[in-house]
Chain A
Amino acid sequence: MAKKVQRPIEFITPPNVLRAKLATDGLGLRDPLAAADKALKQISTECNAWAQEEIDKLQEKREAFVAAPKDTKALNALTKVVMDVKGLATQGGYPDADPFATSLIALLTAPGNAASANVPLVEAHIDAIRATRDKKHSTEVAAALAAELSAQTSDLAVGIS
């Protein structure tokens, strides 16, 4: 019987040039986290506008998805915008939108195209994100609604897989 030939595992430890390059005694350096918080505050108006812009795009992508839920291009376009919402909503002043975006991404990327099997659930997530933008929810209501939509998403994904 022929013996299976296996390629050996090679471990490589490249020299840590970065640690040497960036080494410092720390004197004179500012606190990076405090500086970043300050910088983000300074661009909070822009962040808010960016987040609103992405949330507005949701409606356009939603219409294309609802018209053709099995169309991969429409699904991917909607997923991309939801990911951008997740990336910007918290810094843009809409932290309550984050759990809705997280749950919606799980729904849109679930195996077996679970989203196309429950378009109303997709729309419910988008409505919830838009309501968060419009300040129609308290944080408590948003959290409860997000938990419910997330549970429905999990049930749907389990049912399909």
Chain B
Amino acid sequence: MKAYDFSRLNVLVVDDSSHMRQLVRTILYAFGCLNVYDASDGTQAIAMLQKHQVDILIIDWMMEPMDGIDLTRTIRNDEIVPNPYVPIIMLTAHTTIQNILHAREAGVTEYLAKPLTPRGLLSRLHMVIGNPRPFVRTAHFFGPDRRRKDSSFYTGPERREDADKAADIFELDDMEDDAA
């Protein structure tokens, strides 16, 4: 695995559980991160994004008043957030395929199932740094490409030409990896 100098990374952790934030922060500090901001819900996170330069977000799903899905949609689609391309890692106990599809539809970059492990978090960080997804804009979606696998040898119909169908295209194998 390639090494990165995480001391230059600015991370925002968004979770309404202070214990979970502390757990994530502990692991990030151990990885060498020095700049870890935190917020307890989506609204606070947006204020942090407007104030600080954030390189990666690690967000929970279930929060009030603004949950992780709405936060992701706001980041991707609302001009009040300075960087719509910022990588978003969703850390959640919602682990069904339907949940993962829903998160991907909102614009989440990577998905990480609780319980949190250092290995899981490190692998997602490496993904967003070393192998970032390109972004896709259609009539109904703006966010990271939901296909991860190399499709350069694909010779079938380009279903994404129909923006209405774009939402139906996913790599299920990939998502099963995400839930692990």
Residues of A at under 8 Å CB distance from B?
6-7, 9-14, 16, 18-19, 21-26, 29-30, 32-33, 35-40, 43, 46-47, 50, 53-54, 76, 79-80, 82-84, 86-91, 98, 101-102, 105-106, 109
**Contact across chains for A39 and B30 when beta carbons are under 8 A apart:** yes
**Contact across chains for A19 and B130 when beta carbons are under 8 A apart:** yes
Q: Which of B29, B85, B129, B136 contacts A9 (CB 8 A)?
A: B136
**Contact across chains for B6 and A32 when beta carbons are under 8 A apart:** yes
B180 at the interface (CB under 8 A from A): no
Interface stretch among B18-26, B37-45, B170-178? B18-26
**Contact across chains for B119 and A87 when beta carbons are under 8 A apart:** no
Given contacts A37-B118, A38-B30, contact A22 B134 (CB under 8 A): no
Q: Which of A6, A37, A87 contacts B114 (CB 8 A)?
A: A87
The main secondary structure of chain A at its interface with chain B is: helix
**Contact across chains for B129 and A11 when beta carbons are under 8 A apart:** no
Of the listed residues A9, A30, A90, A109, the one surrounded by the most CB atoms of chain B closer than 10 A to its CB is A9
**Contact across chains for A7 and B6 when beta carbons are under 8 A apart:** no
**Contact across chains for B8 and A22 when beta carbons are under 8 A apart:** yes
Which residues, 85 to 137 on B, are CB-close (under 8 Å) to A?
A: 85, 87, 92-96, 114-116, 118-119, 122, 128-130, 132, 134-137
- The docked-state distance in angstroms from the alpha carbon of A26 to that of B19 is 31
Q: Which of A32, A47, A53, A98 contacts B31 (CB 8 A)?
A: A32
Chain A positions within 8 Å of B32 at CB level: 29-30, 32, 35
Chain B positions within 8 Å of A21 at CB level: 8-9, 55
Chain B positions within 8 Å of A30 at CB level: 32
Size of chain B's interface in residues, with CB distance under 8 A? 50
By Cβ-Cβ distance, the 7 closest A-B pairs, closest first, are A36-B118, A26-B3, A90-B115, A83-B93, A50-B19, A39-B30, A24-B5
**Contact across chains for A80 and B9 when beta carbons are under 8 A apart:** no
**Contact across chains for B95 and A102 when beta carbons are under 8 A apart:** yes
* Closest residue on chain B to residue A22 by CB atoms: B4
- The docked-state distance in angstroms from the alpha carbon of A36 to that of B6 is 13
**Contact across chains for B118 and A87 when beta carbons are under 8 A apart:** no
Q: Which of A9, A29, A33, A79 contacts B62 (CB 8 A)?
A: A79
CB distance from A89 to the nearest CB of B (A): 7
B47 at the interface (CB under 8 A from A): no
Which residues, 138 to 164 on B, are CB-close (under 8 Å) to A?
A: 138-139, 145, 160-164
CB distance from B48 to the nearest CB of A (A): 18
Chain B positions within 8 Å of A83 at CB level: 62, 92-94, 114
19 more contacts with CB within 8 A, not counting A11-B134, A36-B122, A87-B23, are A9-B138, A10-B136, A11-B145, A12-B136, A13-B134, A22-B129, A24-B5, A29-B3, A32-B122, A38-B30, A39-B26, A40-B30, A50-B23, A86-B93, A86-B114, A87-B17, A88-B17, A88-B23, A91-B23
